[in-house]
Amino acid sequence: QKEVEQNSGPLSVPEGAIASLNCTYSDRGSQSFFWYRQYSGKSPELIMFIYSNGDKEDGRFTAQLNKASQYVSLLIRDSQPSDSATYLCAVRRTNAGKSTFGDGTTLTVKP
Amino acid sequence: GAVVSQHPSWVICKSGTSVKIECRSLDFQATTMFWYRQFPKQSLMLMATSNEGSKATYEQGVEKDKFLINHASLTLSTLTVTSAHPEDSSFYICSAREDRTRGQPQHFGDGTRLSIL
């Protein structure tokens, strides 16, 4: 079992719909959770991070964290074709040197 | 804020050449830096983690003598691929994090595409 699991996809949604990306993790000591977006041929860029249970909203993006169930999700409202990318989930223990990344979910938003 | 600059963005060189890639944090102090490698359509693979002034910690299977990492200051880390061969051709990405506050995210450079002929 991988430490951080994501469905590889591809996840396909129509333009304007809500895209829901999920991530589960195995280390109960994880305290910090991050979502990155990676366009094809580019490096990852940070979208959001969340530390506490519940929802955190930033524009069209909402991160949701449930530590008891060990999952974190990313919702993208009003999806746009420009949101088509691979989304990487990363988790980290507070005092750990490195984060553990999932393999990513590929999202395609169709016009 | 949190800009990480990586140079060069593209390198093409002959087999046997050593190649140095620079990674700079422009507006924060990078207490911890990371080097990743990514092959086409594959996942990020962490190569090593380094702290300023300390030796890098390499992931299992990564050759220390092949991939030399120097994190000499809080704003600069370098990766040198020594005696590069075609199998070293890949997308190399650095990442940096400030650790004064707990739980900070890491920020990525734009990557270096290395092609060894």
**CA end-to-end distance (rounded Å), chain B:** 37
Q: What are the CA-CA distances from residue B3 to residues A41, A92, B66, B95, B96 (Å)?
A: 19, 21, 28, 10, 9
3-state secondary structure at position A83: helix
The angle subtended at Cα B1 by Cα B103 and Cα B92, nearest 5°, is: 75
Chain A closest-CA separation from residue B12 CA (Å): 17
Give the pLDDT confidence score for residue A8 in this predicted structure. 86
Beta-carbon neighbour count of residue A101 at 10 Å?
Answer: 22
pLDDT of residue A3: 93
Spell out which residues of chain B touch residue A103, defining contact as CB-CB under 8 Å. 43
Residue A85's DSSP bridge partners are A107
Residues for chain B: how many in total?
A: 117
pLDDT band, very low/low/confident/very high, at B114 (cuts 50, 70, 90)? very high
Q: In sequence order, what DSSP letters do the residues of B66-103 get, joined into one string?
A: TEEEEEEETTEEEEEETT--GGG-EEEEEEEE--SSTT
Q: Do residues A48 and A61 make contact, with C-beta atoms less than 8 angstroms apart?
A: yes
- Chain A touched by B72 (CB under 8 Å): no
Query: What pLDDT score was predicted for residue A94?
Result: 75
Report yes or no: A73 and A64 within 8 Å, Cβ to Cβ: yes
The pLDDT, as a whole number, for residue B101 is 82
pLDDT at B99: 87
pLDDT at B54: 86
pLDDT score at B52? 85
pLDDT at A95: 73
Taking only the tens place, the pLDDT of each residue in A15-60 is 999 999 999 999 999 999 999 999 999 999 999 999 999 999 999 9
The contacts of residue A111 (CB under 8 Å, 6+ apart) are: A15, A81
> Environment class of residue A54 by beta-carbon count within 10 Å: exposed (0-12), middle (13-18) or buried (19+)?
exposed
* Among A43, A97, A99, beta carbon nearest to B93: A43
Taking an 8 Å cut-off on Cβ atoms, the answer to whether A103 and B43 are in contact is yes
- For B47-95, the pLDDT digits (tens) are 999 988 888 999 999 999 999 999 989 999 999 999 999 999 999 999 9
For residue A16, count CB atoms less than 10 angstroms from its CB and return exposed for 0-12, middle for 13-18, buried for 19 or more.
exposed
Interval B17-35 mean pLDDT: 95
- β-pair partners for A76: A19, A61
Q: Is B111 on the interface with A (CB under 8 A)?
A: yes
**Which residues does residue B46 pair with via DSSP β-bridges, in sequence order?**
B36
Please state the separation of Cα A30 from the chain's center in Å. Answer: 15
